[in-house]
Amino acid sequence: MELGGLAIEGDVSAGVWVSSGRRRGEPGTVSALVPPVFEAYARVFHPAVRYVGDADVEVSWAEVAAHNGTVAHPHMQWQCVTGSWEYLGSDSQPPVWDDAPSEGHLPVAVAARLAAVLARHTGTPQDCVFGRWAGFGFDAAALEGVPQLLLRGGQDVVLVRGAVGDAVRNLAPEPHEQSANLWWPADRAWLVVTDIDLRTTYVGGTAGCIADVLTADGLEAAPAAPHDRVNADPINPSPAAV
């Protein structure tokens, strides 16, 4: 069986370091997603989208914050930046953005830019492991009995192998679209995690690697730390419940 044209791994032991490391992290923090074994960390924001004719234009969180009079900062949360829980769903703010940042999915264009940076910071760019959550409804039945890497919180993943550039692959059956939810090279030089409930992606790596992520063209990224809360905005007020 394959995901995105890559054969599913029958042996998930390559990911035990991730699962054991995440279990030691405090729930609700970066350390529960990316084990605290790296020199530095970054948070990559999934862009919102504005429709311009037939084109989809990426819109940064900073642009959305400026429109709403809120503050763009490393710990910002989408509902706090926009000022409404409704903007997590189908609502929009024309003419600034028409589609909210993707949840649990790293957009292809962003994945390609991130992979290009990370490829320079591993000695094994042709040997990477990709994990995709096994709980998506579109192929849950087909994955029954397939070996899975067990992760705390019921976020078990199926593993495949490829090159760094395969981060752009769609690991869901058509017409669905789903990126890997975590990926790392064989030398464990870095780790990328796109949690199924978040609209941002976290990366752990060397100081040099993360410095390059933070300054890469086409990536809206901010420094992060293992103790950061992944769902807390200490600056912008949380909107009233809908």
Residues 36/239, Cβ–Cβ less than 8 Å: no
Q: Is residue 234 helix, strand or coil?
A: coil
Q: What is the pLDDT of residue 89?
A: 80
**Average pLDDT of the residues in 73-91:** 93
CA distance 88 to 30: 21
Q: What is the pLDDT of residue 140?
A: 86
Q: Which residues contact 135 (CB under 8 A, 6 or more apart)?
A: 154, 155, 156, 196
pLDDT at 99 over 90: yes
At residue 155 the predicted structure's pLDDT band, cuts being 50, 70 and 90, is very high
CA distance 76 to 99: 18
Beta bridge partners of 41: 204, 224
pTM of the model: 0.97
Domain boundaries, the chain: 2-44+103-224, 48-88
Q: What is the pLDDT of residue 141?
A: 87
Residues 21/216, Cβ–Cβ less than 8 Å: no
What pLDDT, in 10s, does the model give residues 171-203?
Answer: 999 999 999 999 999 999 999 999 999 999 999
